[in-house]
Amino acid sequence: MKSKYEKIINPKTGKLVNVNGKLGKKIINQYLLVLKGGRGKVIPRVSTQKSQRSNYKKAAPSIKDLEDVTSYAERDLKIDGKVVFSMVWPSGAFKHEEKTYIHQGHTFAMSRNKDTLVVYDNSHDKKYYNRDENNEKIWDSKVVKNYQNVINKLKGNRNLVFFTLVTGINRYDKILDQEQGSCMQYIDELIKDNLIQDLPLNDIKIKGDNGDVWLYNSSKNEIYKIEAVV
């Protein structure tokens, strides 16, 4: 008779994996680290099928795939209050290289309570509002549609807040300067610094790269240096 405890949810994909396999054992160890008070929490991760391709030339997701993954994110937000979401950003950035798979992936995170949805994104709110610093349109409306729909569905009637963009700290600036893969690395760095929080958000001190100390001010949704190395 098979045990009902042979599978565990992979927080990166939302899918079940065997607890006796290499990946299953790694996930169990991560959960144990959290239970013992280890640094950082394991945040559930969900992703559309096409966004899991290993290269940057990805096909746009089907409507069903996107709806399914959004429902997984809704589940995780209800249970954990936080989720990391990976999908395809259909900008056609690689169209000149390959006609079949032409799109980039995009990863962002969300935390939620009954009043507010907070979105953590390395482009801040540009993708959602489709506007640059000069209030000019950036992409065709078809490009931003899926991203907007996911956020709107998970937001419901709640207030929408975009977490401040972390800049000025060298390790974040280096990530933001990258052309490819920066979105996922940015979210991973926020997780390491415990900045993706349960709501309501709290003030958090962040160590800079050379010993400086920065503060995330939750009331202002801003980050600034409070102590500098002399």
pLDDT value for 101 = 46
The predicted-structure confidence for 97-127, as pLDDT tens digits, reads as follows 544 445 577 899 999 999 999 999 999 999 9
The predicted-structure confidence for 64-105, as pLDDT tens digits, reads as follows 888 999 999 999 999 999 999 998 877 555 454 544 445 577
Say if residues 124 and 118 touch (Cβ distance below 8 Å): no
pLDDT value for 36 = 46
Which residue in 206, 176, 181 sits closest to 191, CA to CA? 206
Q: Per-residue confidence at 5, pLDDT binned at 50, 70, 90?
A: low
The predicted-structure confidence for 21-42, as pLDDT tens digits, reads as follows 767 776 776 666 555 444 446 7
The predicted-structure confidence for 208-218, as pLDDT tens digits, reads as follows 888 899 999 99
pLDDT value for 34 = 53
Give the mean model confidence (pLDDT) for residues 170-184: 87
pLDDT value for 225 = 92
Say if residues 69 and 63 touch (Cβ distance below 8 Å): no
Say if residues 109 and 187 touch (Cβ distance below 8 Å): yes
CA distance 38 to 134: 43
